[in-house]
Amino acid sequence: MNKDKVYPRTGDKETVYLKSTITKPNITVGDYTMYNDFVNDPTKFETNNVLYHYPINDDKLIIGKYCSIACGAKFMFTSGNHNMNSLSTYPFPIFYEEWELNGVDIKNAWNNNGDIVIGNDVWIGYEAVIMQGVHIGDGAIIGTRAVVTKDVPPYTIVAGVPAKEIRKRFSKDIVAKLLELKWWNWDDETIQRNLPNIMKGNVNGF
């Protein structure tokens, strides 16, 4: 295993270990999280998929370990928002020179909903959109082209626009055991030794 490589599959330039492509300090990605893109260069994830993510806001994208992110998934940040507390949604503070406003108040042009936090072992489907401030729990699944506007509990499947819960992946007891085990924090050798149980869904085999 080599979690630091960019392309984990021989001859496949559409799939990357995302952590190895990240350069911005306000984006954090865990080990073995993969991104596949058959339209654009997957190494350009920061530019093509993380939108309106400007340093002025100090908001972060945090993605856990062993996540699977499908082609075209987008993460929409605060600067793509507009201030709905104002009488106008027009972003006057951005054009402070034009309107003789104080340039230090530029962040008043939008509502800041905070960081996007993705747990571990999360599957984000094709062209799904994750909105600012959303937290997605461990083991969750986000359906194709879903627009996620609210937090998603662990091991929950959501889909639709806006995304709504479809069902839980497992019973409460199994979810509780998985959240206690946190297998994604095990070392590589322990995970490899337990792959038969992980892949067959045998939570009682650990």
CA dist., res. 23 & res. 6, Å (int): 13
Query: Which CATH number applies to 15-81+113-169?
Result: 2.160.10.10
* Cα distance between the two ends of the chain: 21
The yes-or-no verdict on residue 108 having pLDDT over 90 is no
Alpha-carbon distance 119 to 170, whole Å? 17
Contact 132, 76 (CB under 8 A): yes
| Residue spans per domain, the chain | 15-81+113-169, 171-206
**Amino acid present at 159:** A
pTM: 0.93
pLDDT digits (tens, 9 = 90+) for 127-158: 999 999 999 999 999 999 999 999 999 999 99
* More confident of the two residues 30 and 56: 30
User: Catalytic annotation on 82?
Assistant: yes
> From the candidates 82, 150, 182, 193, which is the catalytic residue?
82
Cα 43 to Cα 78: distance, rounded to the nearest angstrom: 23
